[in-house]
Amino acid sequence: MPRRLATHANSWYVADPRKLDAQLNAWITAVKADECGMTKLPIPNARVIMAPHAGYSYSGATAGFSYAAWDLSKATRIFILGPAHHVYINGCSISGCNAFDTPLGELLPDSEVLQKLEDTGKFSRITLKADEDEHSIEMHLPFIFKAIEFAEKFPKDVKIVPIIVGSITTTQEKTYGALLKPYLEDPQNAFVISTDFCHWGPRFSYTGYFPELPSHDNPNAELVFLNETGHQVIKHPLYKSIRALDHQGMSAISTGKHSEFAAYLEKTRNTVCGRHPIGVIMAAAELMFGENKGSSFGRFRYLNYAQSEELNDINGSSVSYVSGFMEMP
């Protein structure tokens, strides 16, 4: 079985181990509990985190919030669910590699669990080329390596289970959620949900805009799609509309109701690239907790939100980043 090389090192993030270690350390330790409205970090029982996967110069600081919150005190296995950007997958795929390189050191897969997933008939093996082309999981591996170190564990003692989630339906999200539910229930398993939020701009074929921003009095503000004459209806900066759009999605996710997030996506068409990984973990958590009334378990809460730039020009582009966590018993 081959090794998976750190193919995005020295482009999406620095390859020099000392520089990378210093960056990761700075981003994680910069997060302070009181500034996040928390009493302590890591957050007890925060076994599931949501974090972005863009180049570190854009999203590294936001990802740091998630990794500062992550509770790995009981972890012996880490599942990473990321979207597919380069190949079409009607389902979920798993890696066939026997080691994953990072500039800080290697991470090893849990071959036994990966085989069990393959044996369900629902998980295919991705090719090495497609695996190494994809960045949604690789961008988390150095952070994971560092988080294991912060938890005073050893990388070879904590195995990873990388899962690339393809273009699946909400029904398929529920199917995969049911398959992963037993692993989510096990306190020795931690999860990373890899996603960026709104990809806005003509180059992303998405120009959704709120002419009237949603508010407490106007929660159902209508979204329009701007075109080359869009400047005629722009009443406030684009970045404010994008932020409102993303926060609606974040609120839908935090309900813990899989159907709420699906309805939001159908209505807004927001380009949340990790919508299917989010949908899978929400479906699994919903099976565990139902509608989750009165409980914080199984529902995402948020620590940070950022945009690659505060966009004002309709011909420009931006990508949004969110850090969050889900407490599990």
Distance CA 139, CA 137 (A): 6
Helix ranges (DSSP H) in 157-310: 170-185, 238-254, 258-268, 275-289
**What is the rounded average pLDDT of the residues 155-183?**
97
DSSP 202: G
Structure token digits, residue 4: 């998976």
pLDDT (0 to 100) of residue 229: 60
**What is the rounded average pLDDT of the residues 133-158?**
97
Closest CA to 62 of 326, 321, 325: 321
Closest CA to 176 of 286, 85, 307: 286
* The pLDDT of residue 219 is above 90: no
**What is the rounded average pLDDT of the residues 121-146?**
97
**What is the rounded average pLDDT of the residues 221-230?**
81
* The pLDDT of residue 231 is above 60: no
- Asked if residue 272 lies in contact with residue 198, where contact means CB atoms within 8 angstroms, the answer is yes
pLDDT (0 to 100) of residue 216: 87
3 state SS of 265: helix
Q: pLDDT band for position 292 (50/70/90)? A: low
Secondary structure (DSSP) of 29-61: HT--TGGGT-SSSSPTT--EEEE--S-HHHHHH
* The pLDDT of residue 266 is above 90: yes
pLDDT (0 to 100) of residue 163: 98
pLDDT in tens, 37-69: 899 999 999 999 999 999 999 999 999 999 999
105: left (phi over 0), alpha (psi -120 to 50) or beta: left
Distance CA 51, CA 84 (A): 16
**What is the rounded average pLDDT of the residues 171-177?**
98
**What is the rounded average pLDDT of the residues 252-279?**
97
Q: Characterize the bridge pairing of strands 189-194 and 77-83.
A: parallel
pLDDT (0 to 100) of residue 101: 98
Distance CA 84, CA 103 (A): 23
Q: pLDDT band for position 290 (50/70/90)? A: confident
Which CATH superfamily, name and number, covers 3-201+271-327?
LigB-like (3.40.830.10)
Torsion of the alpha carbons at 106, 99, 63 and 274, rounded to the nearest 10: 180
pLDDT over 70 percentage in the chain: 97
* Beta carbons within 10 angstroms of residue 269's beta carbon: 13
Distance CA 225, CA 242 (A): 12
pLDDT in tens, 96-115: 999 999 999 999 999 999 99
pLDDT over 90 percentage in the chain: 91
Which residues, 6+ apart, have CB-to-CB distance to 68 below 8 Å? 28, 29, 31, 41, 42
Structure token digits, residue 264: 């939001």
Q: Which residue has the higher pLDDT, 180 or 219?
A: 180
**What is the rounded average pLDDT of the residues 28-41?**
94
Which residue's entry shows tokens 């740091």?
Answer: 64
- Asked if residue 96 lies in contact with residue 177, where contact means CB atoms within 8 angstroms, the answer is no
- Asked if residue 18 lies in contact with residue 35, where contact means CB atoms within 8 angstroms, the answer is no
